[in-house]
Structure 1
Amino acid sequence: MSRIFFAQELEGVATFWRIHRRDGVTLGFTSHNRDLWFGGILHRAAPGMVPSAIRRTADLSPDSTDVTGALGHDSISAADLALGRFDNAQVQIGAVDWETLEFAALYNGSIRTVSAEGGSFSAELRSAKSELELDFIPRTSPTCRAQFCGKGCTLSLARFAHEAALGELDLAANTVRFEGIDAPLFAEGEIRWVDGPQAGVRMLVIEVKSGGLALDVPLDPGLAPGTRAILTEGCDHTLAVCSTRFGNAVNFQGEPFLPGNDLLARYPSPS
């Protein structure tokens, strides 16, 4: 909007936050003492959430800020923070007139790191300009640099994603077994839970143990057999697997036969 805030000595202005998580959940909060509905989103009253000073620059350096607050709202819990539900979530911070509901966004970015301690949390935010720090010039590597079924790989994700039901789980070993799948195909793959207590949470398969998939995120004891998940097959990013298993060597984004620095720096020896 074209509204200019703080143009008068006394205005009813509050701060608002919008969090768009990767699992499709959108949360809205405001520093006002009652809930506000604007922009198609209900913003819950959360006076305990306090942003640090927002610095906006005209150059290309990232505009970073922090948000701290108490874990007092039901929408944000220590368990969700630990599960990574807020990791890389998109964040918008702005000002809203709680009388007219006119609002303006002052900051757009994403959550980088979240820490929780003593009933409170702290989130580091990085602005959209931080993407300009990425180095887009590829470096040589013996393994493929492309994300499996991502840009450069060209394979279809739908072809290697499978929905399956949980057969059994071992909380002590943090492993799961699914019905009707070939477990070795999912080594270094990913699991996204569709329902159950961890719905929307993504977990990486770090190892295949006797037909069970060992995951990198602790399993919830409330998971029950029959819980559905989307399993994505894994790739070890080697040329051999890319060629023999996927038939995609033409799109291999690596240099497996390039001599390394140790070979180039080796001294010649007399025969």
Structure 2
Amino acid sequence: MKQIPASLVTHLSGDTTTHCLLLRVLTKSGDLYGFTNLDVDVTYNPATVDPYSTGDDWGSASHRADNGFTPERMQATADLSVDNTELQGWVAETGITEQQIRAGLFDYAKVRVYRVNYMDLTQGHELVLAGTCGETTFSRNGWKAEFRSLTQQLKQPLSQLYSIKCRAKYGDARCGKAFVWTAGTVTSVGSETDRIFTDTSIAQADDFYALGVVEWLTGDNAGAQMEVDSQISDEVTMALPLPYPIQIGDTYQIRQDCDKTREMCRDTHANLVNFRGEPDIPIADGGTLMVPGAYIRR
């Protein structure tokens, strides 16, 4: 059952109400952003007025009206289906910028939405939504972030299955390898200015960083990460285009990753002892599957 402070319930039950929604977003970098669908900023800290412990401990924030948001139809069910809606906001000259959104500001961010009486914030809040951001898109006038509720986490597998490739993520506790980032600076840009760049300081063998990750530290793409498609000598080609063209002088950091095969785990990372796959499991013969009538029982 949802817990709402009695004074707020009394207000919401009245003939005239003065309530608004507050959206709070805690990014993976630990930065807190606040938005409201009201036409003025609202400063609120849910931890200070929280008789039922429904608020977060992220601290006080000024919930901005110029970057204000409007939630679409909120879908929730009584079973364990994932609650879903979309949060729409606008881009202003201050606050959240187009560049931050395209660089993945909302990726994996924690989200909470509260309903409050903006004329009397001491009445506390109603917790409307709690979860994480899904896919974020940008349009000409603003941004749109998909909301995914906490019940989505219940849909994750709890047991490990046999697999040909390693089940561990490169760099996690099961893998045991630590990320080794190498800093660099762009010295020239290739024909595809949003995918290809050169750094004369790269001295590793060809494809040493293939399947790795580049994280941009400065420039228009600051904060964005992208997988490496290939690395030939000192030229790096990324898997997908970046939001903005790469500029000479942009700084970045790059690291290796793994394709989860036994060969790469053994030969490249010398980490076979922590390999979590079963590559010798017999698999179906692809050629047999192409023979007409091969699986017809007689």
What TM-score do you get using the length of structure 1 for normalisation?
0.83
Superposition misfits of 4+ residues, deviation over 6 angstroms = none
- The equivalent position to 2:242 in structure 1, one of 218, 222, 247, is 218
Provide the residue aligned with 2:130 in structure 1: 108
Whole-Å separation in 1 of the counterparts to 2:185 and 2:40: 42
Q: How does the TM-score come out when normalised to structure 2?
A: 0.76
Unmatched runs of 5 consecutive residues or more in structure 2: 46-59
Is residue 177 of structure 1 aligned with residue 179 of structure 2? no
Does the residue aligned with 2:285 lie in a helix, a strand or coil?
helix
Secondary structure of residue in 1 paired with 2:270 = coil
Aligned to 2:107: 87
- CA displacement at 1:237 relative to structure 2: 1.7
Partner of 2:62: 42
Summarize deviations over 1:131-171 as a string: whole Å, max 9, x none. Answer: 111123333332222211114212122xx222233333325
> In structure 1, what is the equivalent of residue 187 of structure 2?
167
> What is the RMSD computed on CA atoms of the aligned residues?
2.9
Match of 2:10 in 1: 7
The structural deviation recorded for 1:186 is 1.2
2:254 maps to amino acid: L
Which residue identity is paired with 1:7? T
Aligned residue identity for 2:39: N
Q: Are the equivalent residues in 2 in contact too, given 1:93–1:106 (CA < 8 A)? A: yes
- Structure 1 CA distance for aligned equivalents of residues 93 and 153 of structure 2: 31
| 8 Å Cα contact 1:23-1:200 kept in structure 2 | no
**Contact (CA 8 Å) 1:21, 1:89: kept in 2 or not?**
yes
Q: Are 1:249 and 2:252 matched, yes or no?
A: no
Corresponding residue number in structure 2 for 1:142: 164
Q: Which runs of 5+ in 1 are unaligned?
A: none
1:27 aligns with 2:33: yes
* 1:119 alignment counterpart: 141
- Using the alignment, how far apart are the partners of 1:143 and 1:154 within structure 2? 16
Paired residues of 2:20 and 2:115 also in contact (CA < 8 A): yes
Which letter maps to 1:188? L
Asked if 1:258 is matched to 2:260, the reply is: no
Q: 1:200 to 1:171 in 2, by over 3 A?
A: farther
CA distance in 1, matches of 2:241, 2:98: 15
Aligned residue type for 2:235:
G
**Aligned to 2:154, which of 132, 145, 161?**
132
Give the % identical residues.
Answer: 23
How many pairs does the alignment contain?
264
